[in-house]
Every structure is written in C-alpha cells, then in structure tokens.
Amino acid sequence: MAKPAIDQTVRVESPCIRKCTLDDSDICVGCFRSLDEICAWGNASNHQRLQVLELALARRQLKTGNA
C-alpha cells in the first residue's frame, strides 16, 4: 500500500509532550526521540520528521510492550 503524499506546505508538528527527561541512552521519556533527533527537529524536512516519528513510535512500543 502506498503512503499518502506529504503536504510540504504544512510542517509536521513536534511530538513533544513537555515531559523532557532523557534516559541513560539519551532518549526522551516523553516523546521517545533521541537527543540528536530533538536537536535536529527544527531544521528537518517533513520527510525527515516523519522518519523520526516512526523511530520514536518503534522505541515507545519496545519500551511499553504495546504494538
């Protein structure tokens, strides 16, 4: 199944939930982004942001056991 087209005029919003604490692996316990991903977010394209969101979701699922 093809992914829907990304609207480049609307920026993908940050998943930040203002629970900004990093674990021992430098992963935020609130949004599950890495420190590097958080720092790069402001200059990231929508495509890059969606990739980060996919990685963060996978990390969340591993941590919480929810698929």
Q: Residue 66: pLDDT above 80?
A: no
pLDDT the model gives residue 31:
97
pTM of the model: 0.81
pLDDT the model gives residue 6:
58
pLDDT the model gives residue 43:
96
pLDDT the model gives residue 65:
85
Q: What is the pLDDT of residues 8-56, one digit of tens each?
A: 678 999 999 999 999 999 999 999 999 999 999 999 999 999 999 999 9
What CA–CA distance (Å, rounded) separates 14 from 35?
14
Q: Which of 15, 40, 10 is nearest to 29 (CA)?
A: 15
What CA–CA distance (Å, rounded) separates 12 from 24?
27
